[in-house]
Structure 1
């Protein structure tokens, strides 16, 4: 993409962080900059290519030229690489004085230079954070627009329309499945050729390309078909069906985000926003609240997830915990495997066979499937089943084999028996080894789930109890939570040491401003604190650094009670020698002060 501006000083506008400044402070498109500056315009159109086509890498070139009064021609060139890998923000390739790098004989060297570009981890985190803020704002706007403009769509219909539209527009060019476009929807009344029929065929092709098991594919198609093929949504009004109008809205508002390859829980954002669409009561909202991504990663690390783990989640929701687990597993594989061929094989194995999730709510299940498909497809064993009736087998493919789980992560529905500990008992009883980390309402550890806890301790050891910040789920839920960490396959003994951590101060400051673009701030070394908690649970007190001894305590529980899991460091009320000295010192100072105040003045002595 090349954009030319025939004006001086109109090559590029950068923001405070040195990025192409195409967004305002409110995270809206900065059309003034896009329109006025050559590079900004080229990067804007490069993002449109990522958004609306199957291309994943674009070179954006801005050129300005002007004549001096003497007639001499001056020009400047800015060359940027815009890609899924840099979240569409664009990276400067190099300095160039002309366009000869595009000549055939120089182009290979130019592309090699592009391939060497990389973002630091800090840059990646900042860009992900910015994009996630934009996603949240876009989802709120999308929901409001559909709610106001499109009548007759239930909450479930809206969820399924978003899922269907995203699946239809993802495409899989390697398997000749091209993204559905607006032009493909003809709004015809012809039998078997309505907009819904066209979209269903595209989704079927997409799922075939993903090599989903037939049973799973049929379930997804059947679920979406109930919404996509209804008469009302395909009825043509003023030359356009309601389905096409909603499809266009979804693709225009969200396409740029899910097409740029965010390595994050994208549909977790949908999940959190869509729950407000689904009209749950407050109690139900407590049950379905999204685990923040940084907490999901914490759970994975506490459960010691690595490239060889087999991870399952018995209340999958949008699959946010499994996304975090998959990221940890793939990162570990990349770190340890140096053969590209072996790494590709292992990555495919992780996604196909080393993750399993159970979700009973069908509308939420669809979000989980979508999430894992978008993450490169770890969706094979995301099952629409009741966890408490689960037999432990793979759901698709190797259905005669037990899933060899050795890592369990969970944020359960708190209204379930024992605040959700019923899921923990079920999962851990089906495991022979490994580790588990769950975040749960803290009353589960102080009596509400005592019977479940006692049975769990018969085959698993409680390693740690971590009190989480009171505002962890601010704006989403009002429950107090703890994380409990277990070693599976070994009964808890009364002399086993349990690490009690008060993590009320996790380094983050949170706000609940409804219209804020950002509500989470690292104000006190949050990332370092989270890593310290992982190290404390694994290695003990020697890793105590940022946290204090008042926040870390090694103690014991009674396996026969099940209600003493939320302990805090005991307060020592015995006075020390220093306390005694200070008390005596304070008393003597008071005595001296009193004596001095009672001394007669010179005037008193003279009788004045």
Structure 2
């Protein structure tokens, strides 16, 4: 009886066969220890190895090929020598390189040819300027006639597919790499696209990985890097990310090796990072005062003496910078359309000793709720969206994402789409945030998203904002037609003061806000009455009590408005009890995911959007007990949280059941008494 241990690997034969092809095509390939170029060599060395250690990734073969447009493509090849060791896929048909806890699955990476090659490709995606990589796995075995049979897997790993790896096609040799065939091969590679559904799935997967990485990073810094306050940690992450973003052809990303941990004045690690940030911001089309504010804010942390002090040849700053780049670099390099810094913010602030009341004011909106608000506010590519308490800009990120998707779906010209996308980012989003540390995160978030940071303003939206653009068209009013908000609940009227001001400055459109539900039942009566004088309340949605589990246990509602149309007493309001949104939440620090879709959550969220837009005909998963159409008194201001009335009148069926139950009880009693009587008489 044979086993894998007794079957001899034919890897040398496979390598000989494949390298023979490369030689035949006259390709300049490099074997294991040979250098391809310093950037790729360094990336492979810096990335965690196949076995889970630090560095030392050594593909069997490396190439760097150029297409007709002079674009370079790193090619990484990994050989194995056993049957069934080509590729290991997960249940979704993706290269299975992650465990259920979102950690690298080193067993698969080490054992399967394609998995290993995709792992190497991610090293290059993570640590170099290359965004399109070809990962090739090849394995084989001796058949019954002692002839070598081989299998080849060719996968595309790129920024566009979040580094996950997509199969390109079926190949029996490496002739697709030859000079004559390479351009056609790249055309095929470029034609591979993910569907919107696949993109959403991959984004969710990557977001779970981000959560795990942020927890790990914060734990590490919290436990091992003494003397860093919570703001220091946030600013260090922001500074490290900005310094390593780079601008192609203009500003090179800061490399870890450039931090020399020198004690020389003006050349300490903090000075080097600060100069790189300055160079990056100088190339960004931002107002001078905004640039200076960012530099000043980060400078306070980066230039402190303790963090730059050299011990054992390394400063604390370099150590922290290295951890940040190694743990998070891949996620902002692949350009996720997610509230990256919102996740960062929530994780960093999760360690703070805030009182519960104060916590309520810094809790940020979960991304799936942000998306719901954006859809309820009917955001599309032509919307002008603003947020008067923007936090880390998570709601604006969600809005921008929705706008870009709509623009992409309605465009037939790549050139026009590029122009429209730039306009969305620079002109169609505006956010205000008063707290400097949170404002910094909002700026960083929008820079990471491709730069919608132009009109993120460090202002008091209630006192210092008159409705104008903050940058560019500063003399013009921002033509807002969509308002989204998760206000600080300690503000007047639980935050309805923000709603009143924003809606009063709008001429048309829709608004969706998530707020403590006492705002609709008595805490904000005067604000609510003023709001209804020129706006219509369309819906009141009761959200799950554990929506912000671990951060706050406040009961929230979403209120949806139509702008500039006064509310009449006969206007129908849709009251929806969304206490069961389909998600199960936990608050376990070590859990790989504290949010699980256990009952059609995505479908439920879409149903809410449809119900608010189209009414009762869209009831499907939700029941009539959870959906109720009623009216409010515009002069009341405290009747916004209604539930479907419970009919207490008995029906004929109820009556029949009651009579039936009573008769059954009577008969039972009679029989029981009869039996007792018989027993007594000795029958």
TM-score tier after normalising by the smaller chain length = over 0.9
Q: Call closer, same or farther: CA 1:187–1:601 in 2, change over 3 Å.
A: closer
1:484 Cα offset (Å):
0.7
Equivalent in 243, 264, 268 of residue 194 of structure 1: 268
Q: Is 1:535 the equivalent of 2:627? A: no
1:293-312 correspondence to structure 2 within 5 Å = 293-312=367-386
1:180-329 correspondence to structure 2 within 5 Å = 180-329=254-403
- 1: CA distance between counterparts of 2:352 and 2:679? 85
TM-score by length of 1: 0.95
Q: Call closer, same or farther: CA 1:299–1:178 in 2, change over 3 Å.
A: same
Contact 1:12 1:20 (8 Å CA) reproduced: yes
What's 1:394 paired with? 469
Q: Call closer, same or farther: CA 1:159–1:278 in 2, change over 3 Å.
A: farther
Q: Which sits farther off after the overlay, 53-62 or 131-140?
A: 131-140
- 1: CA distance between counterparts of 2:132 and 2:353? 40
Classify the secondary structure of the residue corresponding to 2:513: strand
What's 2:622 paired with? 547
- 2: CA distance between counterparts of 1:593 and 1:35? 73
What's 2:244 paired with? 169
Q: Is 1:579 the equivalent of 2:579? A: no
Classify the secondary structure of the residue corresponding to 2:508: coil
TM-score by length of 2: 0.85
1:456 Cα offset (Å):
1.4
- 1: CA distance between counterparts of 2:325 and 2:160? 20
- 2: CA distance between counterparts of 1:585 and 1:63? 75
1:495-510 correspondence to structure 2 within 5 Å = 495-510=570-585
Equivalent in 526, 532, 544 of residue 457 of structure 1: 532
Q: Is 1:27 the equivalent of 2:102? A: yes
Point out where structure 1 has 5 or more consecutive residues left out of the alignment: none
- 2: CA distance between counterparts of 1:73 and 1:15? 28
Contact 1:54 1:178 (8 Å CA) reproduced: no
Q: Is 1:3 the equivalent of 2:80? A: no
Q: Which sits farther off after the overlay, 348-357 or 449-458?
A: 449-458
Contact 2:80 2:86 (8 Å CA) reproduced: no
Q: Is 1:37 the equivalent of 2:120? A: no
1:238 Cα offset (Å):
2.7
Contact 2:627 2:644 (8 Å CA) reproduced: yes
- 2: CA distance between counterparts of 1:446 and 1:208? 50
Q: Call closer, same or farther: CA 1:592–1:145 in 2, change over 3 Å.
A: closer
- 2: CA distance between counterparts of 1:121 and 1:333? 13
What's 1:483 paired with? 558
Q: Call closer, same or farther: CA 1:578–1:64 in 2, change over 3 Å.
A: closer
1:547-566 correspondence to structure 2 within 5 Å = 547-566=622-641
Q: Call closer, same or farther: CA 1:93–1:455 in 2, change over 3 Å.
A: same
Equivalent in 571, 587, 592 of residue 517 of structure 1: 592
Q: Is 1:93 the equivalent of 2:174? A: no
What's 1:381 paired with? 455
1:537 Cα offset (Å):
1.3
What's 2:153 paired with? 78
1:256 Cα offset (Å):
1.6
Q: Call closer, same or farther: CA 1:598–1:487 in 2, change over 3 Å.
A: same
Q: Call closer, same or farther: CA 1:73–1:418 in 2, change over 3 Å.
A: same
1:24 Cα offset (Å):
2.5
Q: Is 1:63 the equivalent of 2:138? A: yes
What's 1:437 paired with? 512
| Cα deviations by residue, 1:42-74 (Å, 9 ceiling, x for unpaired) | 111110111111111110112335667977444
Q: Which sits farther off after the overlay, 335-344 or 401-410?
A: 335-344
1:210 Cα offset (Å):
3.0
Classify the secondary structure of the residue corresponding to 1:357: strand
Q: Which sits farther off after the overlay, 154-163 or 64-73?
A: 64-73
Contact 2:503 2:531 (8 Å CA) reproduced: yes
| Cα deviations by residue, 1:210-245 (Å, 9 ceiling, x for unpaired) | 322322222212211222223332233333222211
Q: Call closer, same or farther: CA 1:232–1:80 in 2, change over 3 Å.
A: same
Classify the secondary structure of the residue corresponding to 1:76: strand
Q: Which sits farther off after the overlay, 430-439 or 269-278?
A: 269-278
Equivalent in 90, 111, 133 of residue 208 of structure 2: 133
Classify the secondary structure of the residue corresponding to 2:537: strand
What's 1:422 paired with? 497
| Cα deviations by residue, 1:328-364 (Å, 9 ceiling, x for unpaired) | 1111112223222222111111110110111111111
- 1: CA distance between counterparts of 2:330 and 2:353? 28
Q: Which sits farther off after the overlay, 521-530 or 234-243?
A: 234-243
Q: Is 1:469 the equivalent of 2:555? A: no
Contact 2:386 2:396 (8 Å CA) reproduced: yes
Q: Which sits farther off after the overlay, 368-377 or 585-594?
A: 585-594
Q: Which sits farther off after the overlay, 466-475 or 107-116?
A: 107-116
Classify the secondary structure of the residue corresponding to 2:217: helix
- 2: CA distance between counterparts of 1:478 and 1:378? 32
| Cα deviations by residue, 1:527-550 (Å, 9 ceiling, x for unpaired) | 221111112112222222221111
Classify the secondary structure of the residue corresponding to 1:86: coil
Q: Call closer, same or farther: CA 1:122–1:328 in 2, change over 3 Å.
A: closer
Contact 1:35 1:41 (8 Å CA) reproduced: yes
Q: Which sits farther off after the overlay, 448-457 or 207-216?
A: 207-216
What's 1:51 paired with? 126
- 2: CA distance between counterparts of 1:277 and 1:581? 60
Contact 1:57 1:81 (8 Å CA) reproduced: yes
Contact 2:350 2:551 (8 Å CA) reproduced: no
Q: Call closer, same or farther: CA 1:473–1:603 in 2, change over 3 Å.
A: closer
Classify the secondary structure of the residue corresponding to 1:485: strand
Contact 2:486 2:514 (8 Å CA) reproduced: yes
1:162 Cα offset (Å):
0.3
1:23 Cα offset (Å):
2.1
1:604 Cα offset (Å):
8.3
Contact 2:230 2:349 (8 Å CA) reproduced: no
Equivalent in 416, 432, 438 of residue 342 of structure 1: 416
Q: Which sits farther off after the overlay, 73-82 or 94-103?
A: 73-82
Q: Call closer, same or farther: CA 1:583–1:41 in 2, change over 3 Å.
A: same
Q: Call closer, same or farther: CA 1:603–1:500 in 2, change over 3 Å.
A: closer
1:479 Cα offset (Å):
0.3
Q: What is the aligned-residue RMSD (CA, Å)?
A: 2.2
Classify the secondary structure of the residue corresponding to 2:107: helix
Contact 2:429 2:455 (8 Å CA) reproduced: yes
Point out where structure 2 has 5 or more consecutive residues left out of the alignment: 1-74
Q: Is 1:333 the equivalent of 2:333? A: no
